[in-house]
Structure 1
Amino acid sequence: MKNTIKVMFLAVTLMCTAFTMAQSTVTGTVMDADLNSPLPTASVVEKGTTNGTTSDFDGNFTLKTKSPSGVIEISYVGYGKISMPFSGDTDLGNLSLISNNSLDEIVIVGSGVIDLASGRKTPVAVSTIKAAEIQEKAGNWDLPEVLKSTPSVQNVKGGGFGDGQMFLRGFDQTNTAFLLNGQPINGMEDGKMYWSNWSGVMDVANAIQVQRGLGASKLAISSVGGTVNIVTKTIDRKEGGFVQQMIGNDDYTKTTAYFSTGVNEKGWSFSGLLGHWQGDGYVDYTAGQGQTYFFSVGYQPNEKNAFNFLLTGAPQWHAAAGRGSIGTFLENGRKYNDWNESGVNSSNTIDKGGIYPGGRNIYHKPVANLSWDYTINDNSSLSTVLYGSLGRGAFASAIINDGVGYARGSYNNHNWFGLVSNYNNKISETLNLNFGADVRTYNGVHFRGVNEFIGGQTSLSANSTFLGDYTITDTYGGINPWGMVFNPNTDANQRLGYNYEETITYYGVFGQLEYSKDAVSAFFQGAISNQDHQVTNEYSYDVATDSDKVSNFGFNVKAGAAYAINNYNKVFVNAGYYSRQPFHDNLYDNVRNSVDLIVPSVENEKITGLEAGYQFGSDKISANFNVYHTIWDNRTDPSNNGENQESATYESYQTQGIKQVHSGVELEVFTRPFNNLKVNGFLSLGDWKYEGNASRRTFDGDGNEIGTQTEIDVDGLNVGGAAKVTGGINLDYEFLPRFSFDTAFNWYNDQHSEGSFSKDAPPLSLPSYTTVDAGLSYKMLVGENGSNSLQFRVNVNNLFDEVYLESVFGSTEASINDSENYKGINKSNNGRFGYGRTWNASIRYNF
């Protein structure tokens, strides 16, 4: 009996030992293939069993298997499943999942200088829109229209093609940093963004990431509202392309073709895109047309090095829309253009068949960059991007007397070159170091000239202090943006009105140290920079005259920490302080006609940002909740009275010493109750006010100071321009295989008018409004094994034709006579109504 017990005990021991030895430990990190970012809560299952786990917030997982070898299946809702074999204890490394909506396997080059939030474990308030959604919902719109379904973003269209602007947390796009593959693209002189110059970016974008507030950027860009990162196509891993045709309201048409060779055996790859668009414009007399081109060549000689050259541009012209009174729009309809009849100089201006109905923007801004990604070793890498752009263009209007005259262009040309480099070093398992440099040089050339002569006129008499009396006989560019680039007017004796150049040199260094261990991560980031400014005038002086050179030093510091409570819950807090140099245009007095500095000089702006957040993620629902508080002190505001600059009553203002405080909360929720249904939503609640006193100066249309107000009380006034309360619900339902319907509901409330810094005439409270957009998509598989596809897409914006005031410029209070008001707003105020129902439809062949 004793022997039997011993044998049984030995057998059980051996069985337990065998079972224990049969188990293995499998580890890995689940990543998004497109953005190279972690996928939290991904499902990791041992095939053929119910044994599984999920990835944590950093995409990491550890699984104790039941068998010594087998297959691990990794899946995530909305992504393709992958299977990986294992044998014994195995580290699978990074496992990239490809989105079901992704049409291309892409490679991000220059990744070290593209500050995507995924590059840092300590989170920020961020929303990411990927290629498939951009492709479907962009239609014939600019970038801000696609971003309006994210928290604290509002898009104001502006009337003409590419004339809209975006607000982020109540800050206009002048104070939001826009980066194209890591390259800053805001105007160097004033921070402005002109979407007409970037009309092709939607065609080549792989992803767009909106980082609200402090963001993850390491550059010394000191954005106030946030940072928008645009990541374009560069290298495709496989051969393929597409051809697309789109049509839309008001005779809009767009044709686009793209092809990529993929990466060949020798490491070379080529891709290119060409497109053409044209249309009459939603607003009367705002026709436009343009082209898009994109060319990329990549070379990967070995595993350590990758090079890529990219060239892209979007030459275009479009007629502009004037800003009229609310009453005028109500009388004539939302499509009315108040430049239809009177133009710039009334009787001295002609329509010329719609070519210059009041003003035409003509511009071409080719951008090129060369990137080098160098993997030094397993722990360190270097990314460098060298870039340049040559902007050429004008805002042109026709000046005519008795049928004879010329088209006068106000030209803004630039030569812009820069370099961004970033070194990354994994010091240890817990510490990671980044540091690098950002250098830019910019030369802006501004003058007036003749676009073309009209009605038989062949010359124009002119006079300047620099030249005395002279005659202009040359034309520059016409209405062709390609001609702007290849016909560079460099002769001072062929310019009129004003002629000056601005030179800006920017150089900065940045660094970041991040700590990460288990559930805790923290970072410290800093940047310093210097800007040199100088103006040269060749019009208002006897000889070419240079201004004094101005040098301004600035810096920013940011720090934050995060704690992952478990695989589903994470909290973070970030803080930052910026000392931001003033824009170039705020440094000089009457820059068109003099080289004098403003006295007293404009000092650095001071920005303090605080934010905290909570993230929740599971396989069916995820949510982000953010709280922010931004203090923007000592800022300078350039503004105007909303009239055309050529008008005799036009005035511009420079208000200094402004302090404004923006606080708010944001909630963003993503759900997938069923595999074929996505329901997402967001809600933003903000409170944006001015504090204290400021001072304001007044100028006429030629830049001459005509009045000074030493101090104005702005304390408690509302910040106008954007809605403080926004919300939205987005639904995407695939009711049949590859046949889906989507809709987006957006609500805007608590918005105020622009153009007032006075308690005697405070900003007006505007009526709230809602819009509903809808889309229908179908994808037909064709070719051998369904390797190719035909995609059909229809978008309808403002489906229910809502009539709403998108923006108001003015502060005239409502009349006691209600017939003189519109929804509580005096009709004499200038304003702009949002577009009515619009649509576009496209067919796309992917191969």
Structure 2
Amino acid sequence: MKKTTQFLLVAVCIICSSALFAQSTITGTVRDVDLNSPLPGANVIEKGTTNGASTDFDGNFTLTTEASSGQIVISYVGYESITLSFDGSTNLGSIKLASDNSLDEIVIIGSGVIDLAEDRQTPIAVSTIKANQIQEKTGNSDLPEILKSTPSVQSIQGGGFGDGQLFLRGFDQVNTAFMLNGQPINSPEDGRMFWSNWSGVLDVAQAVQVQRGLGSSKLAISSVGGTVNIVTKTIDKREGGFLQQMVANDNYTKTTAAYSTGMLKGGWAFTALLGHWQGDGWKDHTDGQGQTYFLSIGYKPNDNNIFNLMITGAPQWHAADGFNSLETYLERGRRYNFAYTGVDSPNLLKGGFYPTGRNVYHKPVANLSWDLTINDHSSLSSVLYASAGRGAFASTRTGGTPRVPQYARGSNNNHNWYGLLSNYTNQLNENFSLNVGIDTRLYNGIHFRSVNEFLVGNSLGASSAYNGGSYEITKVFGGINPWNVFFNPNDDHRQRLHGSGNYDYEEDINYYGAFGQLEYANDNFSAFFQGSVSTQSHVRTEYAYAAAEGVSEESDKINNTGFNVKVGASYNFNENNIVFINAGHYSRQPFHSDLFVDDRSSNQLNPFVKGNQKITGFEAGYQFLGDQVSANLNLYHTTWNDKIDYSSRDTDNDNFDDLFTQTSPLKQVHMGVELEVFTRFMEGLDINGFISVGDWTYKGDITTLTRDDTGSIISQGDTSYIDGAKVGQAAQFTAGISADYEILPRFRVGANWNQYDNLYGAADFGSDEFENENNRGSIKLPSYDTVDAGVSYKWLLGKDDKNSLQFRVNINNLFDEVYIENSRDNIHVDSGDTAWKGVNVNNGVRFGYGRTWNVSMRYNF
């Protein structure tokens, strides 16, 4: 008996000892498959048990298990789960999760020319919106709306479909660089962005990344405020697709379908998307409709080469929303938008109203990319791209007594744009990496006014020396159909409007640049140097105001050289604390629109333009990466010298006559601090917040020159005393809190609150307020806040739950906040003036949207 007892004791000890020594430790890092960014708060569970762990804010996890072998399941909200095996203590390394939507497991094509923050060791101030967030929260909004819950960003909806604007650190879209798969898409003429031309980009976006300030882009681009990178879907590894139907306020409806073959035998892959939308618009008489198409053809002949051809476009038309005085909105309601009635037109909008203006445009974009892996240390990435834009802003012209609409005059902005980007990457050794590349852009802009639709009669007289005096216009081209406008453009100068108030000219802008980056990185320290140099040429060709019949007048070629340099460094005190500092200087060539006294009617050079604009930026940051809380703190200071301000404003809302104001070089200084906080204190609940405080002012005084739309001088040499005035149009204080909670499996609710303060009207340099040495600066607009909310549920279907039916409801401006979005005027309140919330009612303003909603159903297969 004693021996039996001893045997049992020994056996128990052996079993316990065996169990003790069988204990395993599994480690790894969970990352997003698309952007290679860490996924904090991902769940790591030992399969068949409740034993688990969560990743920290760097994506790292450590799981201790008493089993000598087995499997772990890694999951994250919005991503596909993955099951991995382990055998003893194991370091699983980098584990990639794909977004849980229909077009997942994406291969980024042209990755060498897409400057994402994750591709560089030295940090920057950045926020990334991923595909699942875009899919759920976009609804029927423009791209700027989805970025409004990031620091120092303000989205202005603008009134009509696609008329939204984005301000970044107080700089408008002209001075924020927008990139589509590494391709610059701001207008080469003046830097502007028109979201109506890109209304389908969020349907095909894999991610949108906002890089505030200096950013990581190596190109010589207009990134004074920052850079927005839009990365689209390309090659899908797996077969799948989706069907989606959305309905929203004001009779909005959108239908979208997409399908991908996945990677086929032979290395081919095909992805296609088609969509159609239409709606009445939140503002009165801002109807619109359009389509989205996207085609990706991928080919991977071997492991070293990947090719992809992408074609996308968003033909659309939409009626525009004009500015009105605050007094008018208070009398008629904030949805008020003037439109004509009783117009005998084959293209009448429903309800018998004809808009004062309508945007019609089609701008297909194609790019061919080639990613070449040369060896284990080096690669070459190239993208050849082209776009051809055709369309116009058609405004209603009146005549007679009483004045009635006569015809729709199209201000046409056509272009042919070609470019090549190529980047060579070499990991020189364990610590040093090198990037060098070229950036070539060839642009031809074609601008003229024409009759897009006759409302009375079927002809119109015009006159110009180029056409031998008086001539008759009898044809319209395209009308309001963007497909017709694209395939039936007006190439006949004798069917274009010449004479007073009209124009007909072209410009050729050719750009050649080279860039490079050298980065050093070890475990704790990283540093980089970036540089680029470019030359840009401009030639303007005049037709409408040429002196001789049939002979165009060509300007002298203007050549400008520009460059930028950036340096930065970071230090990791430990895995939780990182600090960085970056600095940069841009010598930016003037825009084409800056170079001429009036680029619409004259080859005369603008005497105010003396050279390049100078932008100098400094920024510093601190990152805290904890298990449940992560935070980013950024400080910035940007000085912009030798800026030429070129602005236009409608002085007659019925007739859309314009005044054009140019200024002598001015100076802006933008500085501020930004804080982002991300938390996950309990499973399934994310609470994030941000606050940004800016101080954006003009420095020094300027001289203004004002012309009308015929080129005649209205005023010359007036001094505007703007020193110390606040830069307007974007709130200098923004804050927000967002929460997202998975109440039940795949059933989620979320909301975000945004606050805007220290918002000022536009600095109207030609106004009386700024022509007096005792100027009172920019008017201050009332602060406001908005709340958005959403609910979603995903119902798993099919074998192994591979298919799903997803429902989403969004309500924006939940409490129907009434607020002024921006003001184009700067009229202060004097004694006896009527004001609303401290704003003179004579100011031309826009109100923000009231409560809006959208509901969508999406079948993923």
- Is the structural similarity TM-score above 0.5? yes
Displacement of 1:621 after TM fit?
2.0
Query: Does the 8 A contact of 1:394 with 1:409 survive in 2?
Result: yes
Which residue does 2:363 correspond to in 1? Answer: 365
Which residue does 1:721 correspond to in 2? Answer: 729
The answer to whether 1:734 aligns with 2:746 is no
Displacement of 1:675 after TM fit?
1.8
- Paired residue secondary structure (1:643): strand
Which residue does 1:746 correspond to in 2? Answer: 754
The answer to whether 1:826 aligns with 2:840 is yes
Which residue does 2:818 correspond to in 1? Answer: 803
The answer to whether 1:773 aligns with 2:771 is no
Deviations 1:644-687 (A, max 9, x none): 58858742211231111111111111112222211111101111
Deviations 1:565-619 (A, max 9, x none): 1111111111101111111100012222221111243421111111111111223
Equivalent in 546, 564, 567 of residue 554 of structure 2: 546
User: Structure 2: which amino acid aligns with 1:828?
Assistant: N
User: Structure 1: which amino acid aligns with 2:570?
Assistant: A
Query: Does the 8 A contact of 2:253 with 2:279 survive in 1?
Result: yes
Displacement of 1:265 after TM fit?
2.1
**Separation of aligned partners in 1, 2:377 and 2:28:** 18
Displacement of 1:417 after TM fit?
0.5
Equivalent in 644, 651, 658 of residue 666 of structure 2: 658
**Separation of aligned partners in 2, 1:595 and 1:603:** 18
- Paired residue secondary structure (1:300): strand
Deviations 1:4-32 (A, max 9, x none): xxxxxxxxxxxxxx999999999866432
Deviations 1:345-386 (A, max 9, x none): xxxxx9996574201100000000001111111100111000
- Paired residue secondary structure (1:134): helix
**Separation of aligned partners in 1, 2:49 and 2:860:** 38
Question: Using a 3 Å threshold, how does the CA distance of structure 1 residues 733 and 44 change in structure 2: closer, same or farther?
Answer: closer
The answer to whether 1:708 aligns with 2:706 is no
Question: Using a 3 Å threshold, how does the CA distance of structure 1 residues 591 and 527 change in structure 2: closer, same or farther?
Answer: same
Question: Using a 3 Å threshold, how does the CA distance of structure 1 residues 404 and 612 change in structure 2: closer, same or farther?
Answer: closer
**Separation of aligned partners in 1, 2:340 and 2:732:** 34
The answer to whether 1:501 aligns with 2:510 is no
Q: What does residue range 304-323 of structure 1 map to in structure 2 within 5 Å?
A: 304-323=304-323
Query: Does the 8 A contact of 1:648 with 1:701 survive in 2?
Result: no
**Separation of aligned partners in 2, 1:405 and 1:660:** 44
Displacement of 1:67 after TM fit?
9.8
Query: Does the 8 A contact of 2:762 with 2:823 survive in 1?
Result: yes
Which residue does 2:809 correspond to in 1? Answer: 794
User: Structure 2: which amino acid aligns with 1:839?
Assistant: W
The answer to whether 1:430 aligns with 2:428 is no
Question: Using a 3 Å threshold, how does the CA distance of structure 1 residues 649 and 279 change in structure 2: closer, same or farther?
Answer: closer
- Paired residue secondary structure (2:645): strand
Equivalent in 632, 635, 639 of residue 643 of structure 2: 635
Query: Does the 8 A contact of 1:633 with 1:659 survive in 2?
Result: yes
Question: Using a 3 Å threshold, how does the CA distance of structure 1 residues 110 and 459 change in structure 2: closer, same or farther?
Answer: same
Which residue does 1:524 correspond to in 2? Answer: 529
**Separation of aligned partners in 1, 2:129 and 2:817:** 26
Which residue does 1:4 correspond to in 2? Answer: none
Displacement of 1:453 after TM fit?
2.4
Question: Using a 3 Å threshold, how does the CA distance of structure 1 residues 372 and 20 change in structure 2: closer, same or farther?
Answer: farther
Query: Does the 8 A contact of 2:102 with 2:242 survive in 1?
Result: no
Cα RMSD (Å)? 3.0
Question: Using a 3 Å threshold, how does the CA distance of structure 1 residues 378 and 454 change in structure 2: closer, same or farther?
Answer: same
User: Structure 1: which amino acid aligns with 2:496?
Assistant: R
Deviations 1:787-809 (A, max 9, x none): 11111111111111111111112
Question: Using a 3 Å threshold, how does the CA distance of structure 1 residues 57 and 281 change in structure 2: closer, same or farther?
Answer: closer
User: Structure 2: which amino acid aligns with 1:280?
Assistant: D
- Paired residue secondary structure (1:560): strand
- Paired residue secondary structure (1:836): coil
Unaligned runs of 5+ in 2: 1-17
Which residue does 1:15 correspond to in 2? Answer: none
Q: Count residues in correspondence.
A: 823
Displacement of 1:815 after TM fit?
3.7
The answer to whether 1:451 aligns with 2:456 is no
The answer to whether 1:275 aligns with 2:275 is yes
Q: What does residue range 389-468 of structure 1 map to in structure 2 within 5 Å?
A: 389-401=387-399, 405-455=406-456, 457-467=457-467, 468=469
Displacement of 1:89 after TM fit?
9.8
- Paired residue secondary structure (1:377): coil
Question: Using a 3 Å threshold, how does the CA distance of structure 1 residues 734 and 666 change in structure 2: closer, same or farther?
Answer: same
Question: Using a 3 Å threshold, how does the CA distance of structure 1 residues 404 and 837 change in structure 2: closer, same or farther?
Answer: closer
Query: Does the 8 A contact of 1:763 with 1:810 survive in 2?
Result: no
**Separation of aligned partners in 2, 1:351 and 1:236:** 41
Moved more, 423-432 or 632-641: 632-641
- Paired residue secondary structure (2:123): coil
Displacement of 1:37 after TM fit?
3.1
Question: Using a 3 Å threshold, how does the CA distance of structure 1 residues 25 and 799 change in structure 2: closer, same or farther?
Answer: closer
- Paired residue secondary structure (1:301): strand
**Separation of aligned partners in 2, 1:639 and 1:749:** 25
Q: What does residue range 285-304 of structure 1 map to in structure 2 within 5 Å?
A: 285-304=285-304
Displacement of 1:292 after TM fit?
0.6
- Paired residue secondary structure (1:813): coil
Query: Does the 8 A contact of 1:41 with 1:618 survive in 2?
Result: no
User: Structure 2: which amino acid aligns with 1:418?
Assistant: G
Deviations 1:250-286 (A, max 9, x none): 1111111111111112111111111111111111111
Question: Using a 3 Å threshold, how does the CA distance of structure 1 residues 484 and 136 change in structure 2: closer, same or farther?
Answer: same
**Separation of aligned partners in 1, 2:534 and 2:775:** 40
The answer to whether 1:844 aligns with 2:844 is no
Percent of pairs with identical residues: 60
Which residue does 2:124 correspond to in 1? Answer: 124
Which residue does 1:7 correspond to in 2? Answer: none
Moved more, 781-790 or 303-312: 781-790
Query: Does the 8 A contact of 2:340 with 2:354 survive in 1?
Result: no
- Paired residue secondary structure (1:328): helix
The answer to whether 1:693 aligns with 2:691 is no
- Paired residue secondary structure (2:736): strand
Equivalent in 681, 684, 690 of residue 682 of structure 1: 690
**Separation of aligned partners in 1, 2:617 and 2:430:** 30
User: Structure 2: which amino acid aligns with 1:478?
Assistant: G
Question: Using a 3 Å threshold, how does the CA distance of structure 1 residues 693 and 20 change in structure 2: closer, same or farther?
Answer: farther
Question: Using a 3 Å threshold, how does the CA distance of structure 1 residues 77 and 410 change in structure 2: closer, same or farther?
Answer: closer
Question: Using a 3 Å threshold, how does the CA distance of structure 1 residues 105 and 151 change in structure 2: closer, same or farther?
Answer: same
Displacement of 1:755 after TM fit?
3.6
Which residue does 1:9 correspond to in 2? Answer: none
Which residue does 1:762 correspond to in 2? Answer: 777
**Separation of aligned partners in 2, 1:48 and 1:777:** 28
User: Structure 1: which amino acid aligns with 2:828?
Assistant: E
Deviations 1:161-220 (A, max 9, x none): 111211100000110000001010001100000000000011111100000000010111
- Paired residue secondary structure (1:585): helix
Deviations 1:612-643 (A, max 9, x none): 11111223221111111111111111123453
Query: Does the 8 A contact of 2:721 with 2:775 survive in 1?
Result: no
Which residue does 1:10 correspond to in 2? Answer: none
Question: Using a 3 Å threshold, how does the CA distance of structure 1 residues 36 and 354 change in structure 2: closer, same or farther?
Answer: farther
User: Structure 1: which amino acid aligns with 2:183?
Assistant: Q
Moved more, 700-709 or 504-513: 700-709
Displacement of 1:461 after TM fit?
1.9
**Separation of aligned partners in 2, 1:47 and 1:741:** 28
Question: Using a 3 Å threshold, how does the CA distance of structure 1 residues 42 and 241 change in structure 2: closer, same or farther?
Answer: closer
**Separation of aligned partners in 2, 1:66 and 1:799:** 50
Which residue does 1:487 correspond to in 2? Answer: 488
Query: Does the 8 A contact of 1:697 with 1:707 survive in 2?
Result: yes
Which residue does 1:249 correspond to in 2? Answer: 249
Displacement of 1:782 after TM fit?
1.6
Which residue does 1:284 correspond to in 2? Answer: 284
- Paired residue secondary structure (1:565): strand
User: Structure 2: which amino acid aligns with 1:611?
Assistant: E
**Separation of aligned partners in 2, 1:514 and 1:77:** 34
Which residue does 1:5 correspond to in 2? Answer: none
